[in-house]
Structure 1
Amino acid sequence: MLDRFPDRVFAFDEFEPLGIRPTPGFCWAEQSKPNRLPATYRRTHGVTYFHGC
């Protein structure tokens, strides 16, 4: 197999060749920054700060 495809990588395990395919929920696409605030943006846990200058 390595003689026919010298530029490829094959992954084997004890049971069979491993399938090289994307896992659902993960990809190589560029991550974007969503235009929204995180859920904990205004959560102060009962603590209020006042900064006076």
Structure 2
Amino acid sequence: MKLDKEWWRTVRYAIKERGRTVRLIGILVTVGVIAGALIVIAHGMTVTIG
């Protein structure tokens, strides 16, 4: 995957803007928690079925 200069410019701008950075971190944490919960649920179902 090749990242162009525009992508890095967007990342730097987001880091400069504190509000945007906090929002981005919040979204990433939320997605991580949801993904983790789905993995735990799937693992639990697999153990129960197995």
Q: Report the TM-score when normalising by structure 1.
A: 0.19
Larger Cα Rg: Structure 1 or Structure 2?
1
